[in-house]
Structure 1
């Protein structure tokens, strides 16, 4: 299973860019502990050394492992501490975001995946053009994209033209998908939520990791207390 994930400072200040770089280290360390492979797809450096505005990762692992891992990370991340750039700044809570991006479908292009159909060319051009199946329609089976070529009196030449035009169409589709992903990425920059973080870190060592928002421990403690109270009353 593969997932695209972005860690972003959104429109946050330089401190948030610094937090992104530090969170990335913690994120990848935990991913390694969970045997999750990763690849850096895109990174945007911050305004100072050792800072990042955003980074996009491709994660690879078994579905149950990757799903559980991302569930504990996706959302707003808070770092509590004094600014390392503005010592007199009063703010102490800095938020960044971790988002899962819609996967970019890889478009492959192979002539083995093309269906060719021949037909008679249309329009004027002499007996050979109108009576012989020289025109070619090429269809890319995985995407359904189709092109038509009848420029030449040679079926072989029209086939070459059809393949070239089909390749151009596939590239256009690939670019549109990239543009959509980048638009999603930009939207995520605007969606970093302040408050209600899934994880909170403190200090410069970033070792205070995870805050359990399920309140499972509290519920179990209350159940145990109610059970003990019931036994005492009995």
Structure 2
């Protein structure tokens, strides 16, 4: 049984794109369930989160993810600015890196601190010190995790979020000499969507 973690992000897009991130995660979960795959939201439960981590488990998880990696488009009127003329909203989908493959991320360099969870996340929130703050000492990057019910699971999730941060940092450094390509990556690739959804029910466009 295979497992993949998708990173859905609004990039530098406006609040509409953050809204699309949440709706797209729900659409992916619905599609995954429809073909017998398990889907779990690992991070990004708060309102208008700029990014979401979605865990897909089951035979066929990798092909399912491959069909969705890249720029995804939602076509519809802004839920926040009904008179806005723009109808095309783009978000990015990528595979989250495996922490073990990030050479800059050594366990000895991470400082973990337990803390009390807050905000959305279930009945366990605010009742235990299950949330975790992870600090990468060499860079000062900080990641927090509270979505999971155990401190161990949140520790693992915080480490994954640090891996994503370091991977993005490394990508930015590599592409400094090719600034136009990096800018395109940051803003998401317009007009070249791998999937397009339309309407309030997020129906996949043929």
Is TM-score (shorter-chain normalized) higher than 0.5? yes
Cα displacement (A) at 1:44 = 6.4
Aligned counterpart, 2:165: 182
8 Å contact from structure 2 (residues 13, 187) kept in 1: no
Inter-CA distance 171–58: structure 2 relative to 1 (3 Å threshold): farther
Q: Secondary structure at the match of 1:84?
A: coil
Inter-CA distance 40–171: structure 2 relative to 1 (3 Å threshold): farther
Aligned counterpart, 1:226: none
CA distance in 1, matches of 2:189, 2:109: 34
Aligned counterpart, 2:25: 24
CA distance in 2, matches of 1:19, 1:60: 23
Cα displacement (A) at 1:16 = 0.8
Aligned counterpart, 1:172: 109
Q: How many residues align?
A: 142
Cα displacement (A) at 1:171 = 4.2
- Gaps of at least 5 residues in structure 1 are 107-168, 212-234
1:193 equivalenced with 2:175 (yes/no)? no
CA distance in 2, matches of 1:40, 1:185: 21
Q: 1:58 aligns with which of 46, 51, 55?
A: 55
- Gaps of at least 5 residues in structure 2 are 112-133, 137-158, 173-184
Inter-CA distance 17–170: structure 2 relative to 1 (3 Å threshold): closer
8 Å contact from structure 2 (residues 12, 187) kept in 1: no
8 Å contact from structure 2 (residues 75, 199) kept in 1: yes
Cα displacement (A) at 1:99 = 0.7
8 Å contact from structure 1 (residues 44, 54) kept in 2: no
CA distance in 1, matches of 2:187, 2:80: 24
Map 1:90-101; keep pairs closer than 5 Å: 90-101=85-96
Cα displacement (A) at 1:14 = 0.9
CA distance in 2, matches of 1:71, 1:86: 33
C-alpha root-mean-square deviation of aligned residues, in Å?
Answer: 2.9
Please identify which structure carries the higher helix content. Answer: 1
CA distance in 2, matches of 1:61, 1:171: 32
Inter-CA distance 92–173: structure 2 relative to 1 (3 Å threshold): same
